[in-house]
Amino acid sequence: MNKKVYQNKHEVAEQFSAYFAGLAQGKDGFHIALSGGSTPKLIFDVLAKSYGNSIDWSKIHFYWGDERCVPPTDDESNYKMTADHLFSKIEVPETNIHRVLGENDPKGEAMRYANLLEINLDRVGGVPQFDLVLLGMGDDGHTASIFPHQINLWNAEDHCVVAVHPESGQKRVSINGTVINKAKEVIFLVTGSNKAEKVEEIHNQKGAYLKYPATLVQPESGRLVWFMDADAASKIA
């Protein structure tokens, strides 16, 4: 597990952007699953500002690792967050953006999205393979939208599942752990002191770490990178 720790979240954003630009360089058809929530906002702002004109976005296809079951105009929508912070600032063909239709019935949309992934992506052992999956981590150790109280969804038969937020009850569509771990590379983007406790438990394999879906992220390729700021990494060496 490769840990990259930087002073603050702005430096995380700058360093991730440079890393991403290197990964995407020269690729023709790069399929990436984006994370949601608030951490990506600054990262997408910096990515657009620093590399908006140097990356050939027509070669990159955007998907989501998880999406809230809300319309794309809703402030809760991960698609809307990404449009506001990234797509509105770069030249990316609409046809390269494959959003989860949050406005649709969750079960039907999970099936539709799983089929879309199976059609659009290479399949390895029958599992759609992303070139890159970006993940955040909740302060409860969830990742994508697989929460501790539904950790059984990690190995669900379906490649996309319907999950429920433990506090708000909000429904989410999420890729499962099998898809996450099939990716060629997985990058965690984790900042903030509220994540430090779970980062310590996961990295030091202590406490209730086995109950956290983020612990289960172990890509078969072995290419797992944690981008963190000093606050999130404050409890690990």
Residues lying near ligand 6PG in the complex (CB under 6 A) are found at 35-39, 66, 78, 136-138, 142-145
Closest by Cα among 24, 52, 41, 31 to 96: 31
Residue among 37 and 166 whose Cβ is closer to ligand 6PG: 37
SS3 63: strand
Q: Which is nearer to ligand 6PG, 128 or 138 (CB)?
A: 138
- To the nearest whole angstrom, how small is the minimum distance from the Cβ of residue 146 to ligand 6PG? 8
Mark out the alpha helices in the chain (DSSP H runs).
9-24, 39-51, 78-85, 106-120, 177-182, 196-203
Q: Which CB atom, from 59 or from 236, has the smaller least distance to ligand 6PG?
A: 236
When the beta carbons of 34 and 92 are compared against ligand 6PG, the nearer one is: 34
- Minimum Å distance from CB 125 to ligand 6PG? 25
Shortest-Cβ-distance residue relative to ligand 6PG? 136
Per DSSP, the three-state class of 123 is strand
Closest CA relative to residue 10, chosen from 56, 41, 37, 32:
41
Give me the least distance between CB of 129 and ligand 6PG, in Å please.
Answer: 20
- The DSSP 8-state label assigned to residue 185 in this structure reads -
Q: For the purposes of burial, counting CB atoms within 10 Å of the CB of 230, is it exposed (0-12), middle (13-18) or buried (19 or more)?
A: middle
| Shortest Å, Cβ 97 to ligand 6PG | 17
